[in-house]
Amino acid sequence: MAGENHAKDPGRIEGKVALISGAASGIGRATAERFAREGAKLALTDIEPEKGAELAASLVGKGYDAFYMNLDVVSPEEWKAVTDAIVARWGRLDILLNSAGIGRAKALLDTNLDFWRQTISINLDGTFLGTQAAVRVMKENGGGSIINISSVLGFVGMPNISAYAASKGGVRLFTKAAALECAELGFNVRVNSVHPGYIETPMVMRRFDKIEESARETEQRRLEQSHPLGRLGRPEEIASMVLFLASDESGFVTGTEFIVDGGYTAR
C-alpha cells in the first residue's frame, strides 16, 4: 500500500552491548548469532582464535557490530582486558553470557585432584570471575543482565560425573547469591542461570567419538530417550531462553534457574 512503513522493527536487545564467553561453538555461537539478529553489539570470546575470529568476521560481513578476543576464563587479568576493551569501544556493558565450560566423565575413585580442580576452575571459577568483572562495569552504567549456563546436572546427579555436577550445582547457587547481592545493593544487575539438558553441541557429541561405531547409534538413541521429548536439544533453543533473560522482557526476573531439558528432570 502507498505510504506503508516497511522499516525494520527493532530487535529485542537493539543497541545493547553483550559479552559472550565460549562463543566459538555450541550454545555460545548460537546465542551470538541470535543476539546479532536481535540488534546487539557483540564482544565474542573463547580460547579458539580461528573459530572465534571466523564467527566475528562472518557477523561483521553481515553488517553487525562485533569483535573477537581470546579469553581464558580463569584469568582475572584477561576478564579485565576484555571488559576494558568493551568500555573503550562502546562505553558500556549490558549483557554477559557465561557460556564457556568443560564437560568430562570420570568415575569417583578414578578422579584425581587435578581433574577435579580443572573442572571446578573452568566451570565455576570462570563463572565467578566473569560475573564479578561484568558487575563492576554494569553497576556504573545503569545495570545489566548476566546469564550463567549451568546444566540439568546442577539439579540431579549421575554416576561418573561428580566433578561436573559439583561445578554446575555451584553455578546454580552462586547465581542466586550474586543476584541477591546485586539487587540489595541497588546495582540493577539481574543474574539468572540456564540449565540445558543434553544439547547437540560439540562438547556433547564428542562423547560418541569414544564409542565403537557399531554401538554409536544405540548410545545416541539411549541419550535421546532419556529426554521425554525423545530427542536432544538444539543450541538455538537454549539461545532463545538466553535472549529472553538478556532482554527487558525479563526485567522482574533475577536469582532464578531456567531448565530447558525436554523433560529430563521432570521424571
Catalytic residues: 164
Instruction: Name the residue with cell 561483521.
Output: 60
Given its phi and psi angles, is residue 219 left (phi above 0), alpha (psi -120 to 50 degrees) or beta?
A: alpha
Helices then strands, counting H and E runs in the chain, come out as 9, 7
SS3 200: coil
Determine the Cα angle at 159 with ends 157 and 164, to 5°. 65
Listed residue (197, 80, 209, 205) closest to 149, CA to CA: 197
- Which amino acid makes up residue 114? D
| Interatomic CA distance for residues 81 and 71, integer angstroms | 9
